[in-house]
Amino acid sequence: MKRQSGYTLIEVMMALTVLAIGAAGIFALQSVAIRGNSDAQDITAATNVARWWIELIKTDAVQWNFPGPTPANDQNDTQYLAGQNPPTGNWVTLAQPAPAVGILPMTRDGRFAANGDFCAHARFQTPTPAAVGVPQAPGIEVTVRVWWFKGGFHNAAVYPNCGAGQEALMTPNLIRFHWVYLTTLVTPHDQS
């Protein structure tokens, strides 16, 4: 019997197996890339939301002691620093700027909406001295924390109103949220 040219069934099956393994790897790589892109977009949006809050608080701080001879430690001229004398160091949920009332999450494009993904907390505290013997910087250290739910745990009913009043309970639940932190120093308006 003369041997015919061509491929055997075993060779064809081996080629199909290698092709299937390669295709499965490509599909897995594609899903990881898509998830990574989604996470990167969320982090970028959350960072922009945090920057927006930092700039809003810094702008608000311009009203600290302006325009008048109020005591240097009186932040009541401001919306966000009022009541932070002395700073407590506790997390508080940031409400919408006046004249709006209430606490709503923000969307990716920076609008306040009930279906928004990003909520913000702030912590106001006394600045830490740079070193022993160095005078403490005047002002308030502000840390803004923007958070959003991780993948499968998207249950806004557990933390309504962006977790207002539940800030301390949220901190140990880090596995359920993504977080972005930004810190700045705000100082009283210069009276000179």
Give, in order, the Cα–Cα distances in Å from 3 to each of 6, 7, 8, 14, 41.
Answer: 10, 11, 12, 21, 60
pLDDT score of 73: 53
**Is residue 102 predicted with pLDDT exceeding 70?**
no
pTM for the model stands at: 0.73
Determine which of 70-79, 128-137, 139-148, 174-183 has the lowest per-residue pLDDT on average. 70-79
pLDDT score of 86: 66
**Is residue 192 predicted with pLDDT exceeding 60?**
no
For residue 94, tell me if it sits in a domain.
yes
For residue 108, tell me if it sits in a domain.
yes
Q: Where in the sequence is the domain holding 159, given as residue range(s)?
A: 9-186
For residue 192, tell me if it sits in a domain.
no
Query: Could you give the residue ranges of the DSSP H alpha helices within the chain?
Result: 9-61, 160-163, 167-170
State how many domains the chain has: 1
* DSSP letter (8 states) at residue 106: B
Determine which of 17-21, 49-53, 112-116 has the lowest per-residue pLDDT on average. 112-116
**Is residue 27 predicted with pLDDT exceeding 80?**
yes
Give the list of residues 6+ apart from residue 113 with CB closer than 8 angstroms, or none.
Answer: 104, 105, 106, 107
If pLDDT is split at 50, 70 and 90, which confidence band does 7 have? Answer: confident
* Averaged pLDDT of the chain: 79
For residue 40, tell me if it sits in a domain.
yes
**Distance in angstroms (rounded) separating the CA atoms of residues 63 and 70:** 11
If pLDDT is split at 50, 70 and 90, which confidence band does 20 have? Answer: very high
Token pair, residue 40, equals 């990167």
